[in-house]
């Protein structure tokens, strides 16, 4: 039998999503696996689990084994077992809830205690969720960046509600773990674009600062990234 692409075994990565209760871990997982979002909060007891196949540049097939771990597991013996063998850890907090950010120290402590003897410690990603609620942000950007730097983590902002950057976050983490560089089109493809209408002012109210060209006439829509 000849070698074909189908014969190539997938690379398997174990990715753990952890962080305080109600920070949005299940919502991120549901958005990523099913393109859905639910407003209702239902606490995760123990853990949920799903598998997602992705393709990275170079036609590298990757099977992501994603573990969504309930916020209540912090400090429990089971958490050590969940963390063991993880290739990547998404540490999620809610940008509108300062204590969910402060408590990341406790999550990191537990991760470090499990992974201290591992030859290749997991890639750590800091994920600020609920960016659709930017107006309610209580965790300043520079705090986030400083924390990520101090703990050698990659930095991400997502919204499980709108889907903003959720897929991009997983793609980046998988690529980082496997040492693959994502191309610009790859990055753009996974970044959800939010389209916003530009308010059309009445031309007589606002005198044009420059002559109206074909190009300026066309821009009735903009993309926020």
Number of residues near ligand GTP (by CB under 6 A): 22
Q: Which of residues 111-140 bind ligand GTP (CB under 6 A)?
A: 129-130, 132-133
State which of residues 8, 12, 36, 43 lies at the interface with ligand GTP (CB under 6 A): 43
The Cα–Cα gap between 225 and 213 comes to 25
Cβ-based neighbour number of residue 95 at 10 Å: 27
HSE value, Cβ hemisphere, 13 Å, CA-based, for 152: 6
CB of 135 to ligand GTP, least distance (A): 11
Distances in whole angstroms, Cα of residue 211 to Cα of each of 198, 199, 215, 222: 19, 19, 11, 20
State which of residues 14, 15, 62, 70 lies at the interface with ligand GTP (CB under 6 A): 70
| Site membership for ligand GTP, residue 22 (CB under 6 A) | yes
State which of residues 159, 165, 167, 171 lies at the interface with ligand GTP (CB under 6 A): 159
The helix/strand/coil state of 209 is coil
The Cα–Cα gap between 183 and 32 comes to 21
Distances in whole angstroms, Cα of residue 69 to Cα of each of 25, 65, 72, 95, 175: 8, 13, 8, 19, 22
| Site membership for ligand GTP, residue 167 (CB under 6 A) | no
For the chain, the distance separating the N- and C-terminal CA atoms, rounded to the nearest angstrom, is 47
State which of residues 160, 168, 175, 177 lies at the interface with ligand GTP (CB under 6 A): 160
Stretch that binds ligand GTP, among 38-46, 104-112, 200-208, 215-223 (CB under 6 A): 38-46
State which of residues 13, 14, 16, 24 lies at the interface with ligand GTP (CB under 6 A): 24
| Site membership for ligand GTP, residue 15 (CB under 6 A) | no
State which of residues 123, 156, 161, 172 lies at the interface with ligand GTP (CB under 6 A): 161
In the chain, the largest separation of any two C-alpha atoms, in whole Å, equals 74
What is the contact surface with ligand GTP in residues (CB under 6 A)? 21-27, 38-39, 41-44, 70-71, 129-130, 132-133, 159-161
């Amino acid at each position: 039998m000849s070698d074909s692409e189908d014969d190539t075994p997938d690379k398997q990565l174990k990715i753990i999503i952890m962080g305080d209760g109600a920070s949005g871990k299940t919502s991120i997982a549901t958005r990523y696996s099913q393109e859905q979002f639910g407003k209702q909060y239902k606490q995760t007891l123990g853990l949920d689990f799903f598998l997602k196949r992705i393709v990275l540049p170079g036609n590298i097939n990757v099977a992501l084994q994603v573990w969504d771990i309930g916020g209540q597991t912090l400090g429990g013996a089971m958490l050590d077992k969940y963390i063991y063998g993880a290739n990547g850890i998404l540490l999620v907090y809610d940008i509108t809830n300062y204590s969910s950010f402060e408590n990341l120290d406790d999550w990191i402590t537990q991760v470090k205690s499990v992974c201290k003897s591992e030859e290749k410690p997991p890639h750590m990603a800091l994920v600020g969720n609920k960016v659709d609620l930017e107006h309610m942000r209580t965790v300043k950007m520079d705090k986030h960046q400083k924390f990520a730097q101090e703990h050698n983590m990659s930095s991400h902002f997502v919204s499980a509600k709108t889907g903003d950057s959720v897929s991009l976050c997983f793609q980046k983490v998988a690529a980082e773990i496997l040492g693959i560089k994502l191309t610009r089109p790859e990055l753009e493809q996974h970044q959800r674009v939010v389209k916003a209408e530009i308010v059309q002012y009445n031309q007589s109210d606002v005198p044009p600062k420059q002559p109206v060209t074909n190009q300026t006439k066309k821009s009735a829509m903009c993309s926020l990234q």
